[in-house]
Structure 1
Amino acid sequence: MSKQKYKLSTIIIFFVCLVVLISLLLTDLLISHTVSESIRNNQEEKAKIISRTVAKSEIVISGLEKEDDGGAIQEYTVDIQQAADVLFVVVLDMNGIRKSHPDSEKIGKRFVGGDEKVVLTGEEHISISKGTLGESLRSFTPIYNEQNEQIGAVSVGILLNNVEKALKKGHKNIFIGSIVGILVGIVGAVFLARYIKKILFGLEPFMIAKIHEERNTMLHSVHEGIIAVDKNSTITLVNKSALKIFTNIGLSDNPVGMKLTEYLPFSKLDRVLKTGTSEKDEEIAVNGVTLLTNRAPLIVNKEIVGAISTFRDKTEVHQLAEQLTGVRIYAEALRAQSHEFMNRLHVILGMVRMEFYDELMDFINEIVDHRVNEVSYVTKDIKDPVLAGFIMGKLSTARENKVDMKIDNETIIPKPSEDHVTHELITIIGNVIDNAIEAMSEMKEKKLQVKLNYNKNQLLIKIRDSGPGIKEEQFTHIFNKGYSTKGQNRGYGLYLVSKSVKTLGGSIQLNLSVEKGTEFIIQIPYNR
């Protein structure tokens, strides 16, 4: 059973709320303690200030010195008690006898609580004790006369219930603030989740992980080298095929993080970053290796955020093109021979039906003699069976197109020492012959001559047609890839011829001295 996959919004809301809740709880604990201490200190300070104020009062000092049991001290302390909103203000003499009290009946009686003894020794202090009015926070301050002799003390009490009420009020405010904070956190988490999901194109985390793994598998499984850079020309991605190609051309491994201009100054990806225009099927040469490359910008929200380049060793591409070209030429030769054979069968069938047996015999003898002579001539001088079979196919193609094609083997043509030379020769001879046959399609006289000569490890090939010829202004362009005067998607035949000649280390030229038509003169090294 697979694990439960939660949505990104759910995960973000949960963790944001959890963080906010923990933060607020910790804050509540710290603030509550601080607020409690502050409220208690404030109440103690209030009681202390009142008791000190009463202790300095002339009314109180005079009343204690004269041992006045009248109402002066009582009246004064009651006013102070009401004005300051405290539980009691009690004045004591040195015997602990009350000189004032909120309950006038308790005046003249001993102070209750037992915590007054310290102040009667001249020490100011704070205590919590239970008296006749209940449990209270008490501040005791000694009273001195002008001779600095202690003549009594004053006690100010604040009901503990009031302190607890103040603490509860502080806690309530903190609790309300925490609830508001959690609600704000939830709302913020929802908006944050939506924003992040929008940035991620609505993808969930597990979907992103799956896409990431698929991308890595795809990038490293393709045969083409792939390299990507960000908008600052820093290399961000290189697949295994690219690393292999870089190693073959003498570059260091793992260029991720390096500047493109330092590692691949010839890549021209920085140009794509500036222009935003894709570039296709361009060739670059690096340390003697030719790479075929495509470059494209990476655009997000109409902004160029990087660029990517795919490339492949041109040698592999060229070999593949050679194989495809060779197969096509073989197929064309077989098709031409098959077509020619079917035409002759139709002629034979017609003669049989009309019972022209004498003429049929002459026709068959002519075919057999011509075929035997043709096969004998070609195979006798051309020792490579693949090349010989190809030449036979081209003879059939020429006859099908009503072209008078002649093969002139000036010497014995031995089989080459390497098989790839045969494929290159098929590409060279096949494309030149095809071009010549096509060029003569509108001509009345259609003649094509192929001469082969082998001497001192050099093979000389001359192919001459009776076509309209090549115009002088076309001489410098006919071997360029894609150049053609015959329309779109043409111009690859002579380009492949030129590439194959260069691969074999040979040369190709046009004979400009011929009166009409075109003659190609091709010379290549040829080891048997």
Structure 2
Amino acid sequence: MEARPQWSEEVPMRRRWSVATRLLVLQLAGVAVLAAGAVVFTVVGARSDAQQEAATRSVAVATSLAQNPLVVEAVSEPDPTATLQPYALDVMAASDVDFVTIMSTDGTRYTHRDPAQIGKHYLGTLAPALQGETVVETYTGTLGPSVRAVAPVRDAAGEIVALVASGVTISRVEGTLAARLPPLIGGVLGAALLVVLATVILGRYLGRVTDGRGPEEMARLFAYHESVLHSVREGLLLIDRRGRIALLNDQAAALLGVPADSAGERITDLPLEADLEAFLLAEPAAPADLAASEDDGDGPVTEEVHLHAGRVLVLTRRPATQPRRGRRPARLLGTVVTLRDRTEIERLSGELDATRTLSDALRSQTHEHSNRMHVVASLVELGRYDEAVAFAVDSTARSQHLADELFSGIEDAVVAALLLGKWTEARERGMEAEIDVSAGARWDPSLSEDLVVILGNLIDNSLDALARAPERRLVVRISGGDASDLELLVADTGTGVPADLGFGDLARRGFSTKDHGAFGRGVGLALVDDAVRRRGGTVRLTTGETGSGCVATVRIPSRSLAGERRPHRGSAS
């Protein structure tokens, strides 16, 4: 049993987070990390600043007291505490420090915030101060950890007679820091809220634009989109409402003869025929139920056949709409145009038409021959042998002569079959037909396809024109070639063409005096014009010698007849 194909593991079984959701989560995480980092950095910086401020204040108070004459005089008294303790308490209250300790050079306290500690030894570093320096340190004393400064007290002779210590407890520093945190945290939270709000708005926009799809799903859809776009055999063209190419695949670029990177170009800037450009730029008609559309809908479809760069293109145009999703209404995006190449089909249909015409002619001749044989048989039964022979010879001489001349003198069987079939068709429609191929007519076999297109369309137009004329006569002549130009002439006594119209007007795609078919009419002469131009030839329309009808003369220069040349002999009518 053949194994069933398995889906690629890249196709998810469940839908993942959308781009908007991922962006929101990522932004929230980023904001949280940045906010935490900002708080930590600010707290560390504020703590360092608070400690530095406390150290500066302590040094200022200690050095100020050490230079105060009151302190210098009081330390030499029998009871320094009596004078210095009240003064130290006043200084602590006025200078916003937690303690002021004045002590002897051996560290015995004269003052303290806690009177019970007076007379006891100071806890801290004194050696640098005894050397005349001011000491700043963080030390744990009787009031707990504190930032403190110790300065020497000198007498008039410059001798160090006492020490002054001033400090701020760490708990007070932390309290100052705690007072700064609420505004800081409030600012960080406010900034985070603004970022979250902006992220939510951006997320809603992205969700609306991406239809809630995740990046994996969008990447997969884009890969499938590119694969389908460049693998289809039809050309696909998307034109926005400003007349610019929004999208085109390789096949469309090849059929239109434009660069593959033409996306973004204006249609008017491309080398296109005026009628093709007008078709592409036609304002698309949106579906009548666009506002209530749940899907792409089926808008009005327009199909036309255009001749461009030697190709027969079938163009299908329909409006491109974006379906309604949730609260988002459906809207018209522009125009979608598909292009199909019918060049080979037209060529094959021309050859098939020639073959079918020959087949119909042979079938008609078979039927006619059967009827004539019945007449001959009846004459024989009646004993009228001479009349039977004369009737048989006369009835077949004309058609057989043309067939023999064409197929024996023209080695190009396709062109010969076309001419014989058209001659037979003209006879069946009650028209007089004359076909003349000069003995010197020569052309390369590669010209056969173009001759079928040129002669087939011109003769068909003449037959249609003769159908409405009182006098019905068709003349086809092929002459020249070899060292001279090849000349094709198709003349009729039909209704003719308006005097104010030249072949350029008649060959314009879409021009026709006949009823329009499925893809419109007016393609035949456009194909003739293209084939003649491709061979570097010309087409001229004139009025017949009697003042009515139409004479179409096609001249193909000898330089287009180069290659293997085969002689075409014979003349028949």
Which residue identity does 2:435 align to in structure 1? I
* Aligned match of 1:481: 508
CA distance in 2, matches of 1:400, 1:15: 84
Q: Quick one: which of 35, 41, 53 aligns to 2:64? A: 53
Q: Where do residues 181-260 of structure 1 align in structure 2 (5 Å cutoff)? A: 181-198=191-208, 204-217=214-227, 220-221=230-231
* Aligned match of 2:111: 100
Shift in Å, 1:328: 4.2
* Aligned match of 2:545: 514
SS at 2:471 equivalent: coil
Shift in Å, 1:245: 11
Which residue identity does 2:72 align to in structure 1? I
* Aligned residues between the structures: 495
Which residue identity does 1:21 align to in structure 2? A
- 1:32 touches 1:174 (CA, 8 Å); kept in 2? no
Shift in Å, 1:38: 0.9
* Aligned match of 1:75: 86
Which residue identity does 1:94 align to in structure 2? T
SS at 1:152 equivalent: strand
Q: Quick one: which of 356, 364, 379 aligns to 2:407? A: 379
Shift in Å, 1:154: 1.7
Shift in Å, 1:152: 1.6
SS at 1:66 equivalent: coil
Q: Where do residues 23-42 of structure 1 align in structure 2 (5 Å cutoff)? A: 23-42=34-53
SS at 1:379 equivalent: helix
- 2:55 touches 2:167 (CA, 8 Å); kept in 1? no
Shift in Å, 1:134: 4.0
SS at 1:101 equivalent: coil
* Aligned match of 2:531: 500
- 1:93 touches 1:151 (CA, 8 Å); kept in 2? yes
Shift in Å, 1:8: 0.8
Instruction: Please state if 1:448 is matched with 2:474.
Output: yes
Q: Identify if the C-alpha distance between structure 1 residues 151 and 87 changes in structure 2 by more than 3 Å, giving closer, same or farther.
A: same
* Aligned match of 2:129: 119
CA distance in 1, matches of 2:279, 2:169: 80
- 1:323 touches 1:423 (CA, 8 Å); kept in 2? no
Deviations, residues 342-370 of structure 1 (Å, cap 9, x unaligned): 9869x97xx99xx99849998x9687676
* Aligned match of 2:292: none
- 1:478 touches 1:484 (CA, 8 Å); kept in 2? no
Q: Quick one: which of 162, 166, 169 aligns to 2:172? A: 162
CA distance in 2, matches of 1:147, 1:441: 145
Q: Identify if the C-alpha distance between structure 1 residues 334 and 206 changes in structure 2 by more than 3 Å, giving closer, same or farther.
A: farther
CA RMSD of aligned residues (A): 5.5
Which residue identity does 1:65 align to in structure 2? S
Q: Identify if the C-alpha distance between structure 1 residues 128 and 3 changes in structure 2 by more than 3 Å, giving closer, same or farther.
A: farther
- 2:139 touches 2:148 (CA, 8 Å); kept in 1? yes
CA distance in 1, matches of 2:452, 2:97: 117
Shift in Å, 1:514: 0.4
Which residue identity does 1:278 align to in structure 2? L
Deviations, residues 428-455 of structure 1 (Å, cap 9, x unaligned): 2211211111112222222223334467
Q: Identify if the C-alpha distance between structure 1 residues 23 and 342 changes in structure 2 by more than 3 Å, giving closer, same or farther.
A: farther
Which residue identity does 2:121 align to in structure 1? F
* Aligned match of 1:466: 493
Which residue identity does 1:497 align to in structure 2? V
Which residue identity does 2:465 align to in structure 1? A
CA distance in 2, matches of 1:300, 1:57: 92
Q: Quick one: which of 331, 347, 360 aligns to 1:322? A: 347
Q: Identify if the C-alpha distance between structure 1 residues 291 and 260 changes in structure 2 by more than 3 Å, giving closer, same or farther.
A: farther
CA distance in 2, matches of 1:196, 1:520: 64
CA distance in 2, matches of 1:386, 1:143: 131
Shift in Å, 1:95: 4.1
- 2:99 touches 2:112 (CA, 8 Å); kept in 1? yes
- 2:441 touches 2:482 (CA, 8 Å); kept in 1? no
Q: Identify if the C-alpha distance between structure 1 residues 25 and 470 changes in structure 2 by more than 3 Å, giving closer, same or farther.
A: same
SS at 1:439 equivalent: helix
- 1:94 touches 1:120 (CA, 8 Å); kept in 2? yes
* Aligned match of 2:281: 278
Deviations, residues 110-129 of structure 1 (Å, cap 9, x unaligned): 33315344434432112334
- 1:112 touches 1:132 (CA, 8 Å); kept in 2? no
Shift in Å, 1:168: 5.2
Deviations, residues 295-316 of structure 1 (Å, cap 9, x unaligned): x9xx999xxx9x999999xxx9
CA distance in 1, matches of 2:551, 2:59: 124
CA distance in 1, matches of 2:198, 2:467: 78
CA distance in 1, matches of 2:109, 2:130: 13
Unpaired segments of 5 or more residues in structure 2?
1-8, 283-303, 323-332, 382-387, 567-573
Q: Quick one: which of 390, 393, 397 aligns to 2:418? A: 390
Shift in Å, 1:153: 1.9
* Aligned match of 2:28: 17
CA distance in 2, matches of 1:171, 1:381: 110
Shift in Å, 1:326: 3.3
Which residue identity does 1:443 align to in structure 2? A
SS at 1:473 equivalent: coil
If asked which structure has higher relative contact order (CA below 8 Å, sep 6+), I would say 2
SS at 2:133 equivalent: coil
* Aligned match of 1:89: 100
Q: Identify if the C-alpha distance between structure 1 residues 63 and 523 changes in structure 2 by more than 3 Å, giving closer, same or farther.
A: closer
CA distance in 2, matches of 1:91, 1:360: 166
* Aligned match of 2:522: 491
CA distance in 1, matches of 2:501, 2:60: 113
Which residue identity does 1:395 align to in structure 2? W
- 1:479 touches 1:498 (CA, 8 Å); kept in 2? no
Which residue identity does 2:455 align to in structure 1? I
Q: Identify if the C-alpha distance between structure 1 residues 191 and 502 changes in structure 2 by more than 3 Å, giving closer, same or farther.
A: closer
CA distance in 2, matches of 1:159, 1:33: 18
Instruction: Please state if 1:150 is matched with 2:160.
Output: yes
TM-score between both structures, scaled by the size of structure 2: 0.67
Which residue identity does 1:163 align to in structure 2? V
TM-score between both structures, scaled by the size of structure 1: 0.72
Which residue identity does 1:386 align to in structure 2? V
CA distance in 1, matches of 2:495, 2:104: 143
SS at 1:52 equivalent: helix
CA distance in 2, matches of 1:512, 1:410: 23
Q: Quick one: which of 66, 70, 73 aligns to 1:62? A: 73
Deviations, residues 391-418 of structure 1 (Å, cap 9, x unaligned): 232133223433232334454867x542
CA distance in 2, matches of 1:405, 1:341: 16
* Aligned match of 2:329: none
Q: Identify if the C-alpha distance between structure 1 residues 335 and 433 changes in structure 2 by more than 3 Å, giving closer, same or farther.
A: same
* Aligned match of 2:4: none
SS at 1:402 equivalent: coil
Q: Identify if the C-alpha distance between structure 1 residues 17 and 397 changes in structure 2 by more than 3 Å, giving closer, same or farther.
A: same
Q: Where do residues 306-321 of structure 1 align in structure 2 (5 Å cutoff)? A: 321=346
Q: Identify if the C-alpha distance between structure 1 residues 268 and 358 changes in structure 2 by more than 3 Å, giving closer, same or farther.
A: closer
- 1:406 touches 1:449 (CA, 8 Å); kept in 2? yes
Q: Identify if the C-alpha distance between structure 1 residues 367 and 412 changes in structure 2 by more than 3 Å, giving closer, same or farther.
A: farther
Which residue identity does 2:534 align to in structure 1? T
CA distance in 2, matches of 1:473, 1:142: 123
CA distance in 1, matches of 2:380, 2:536: 51
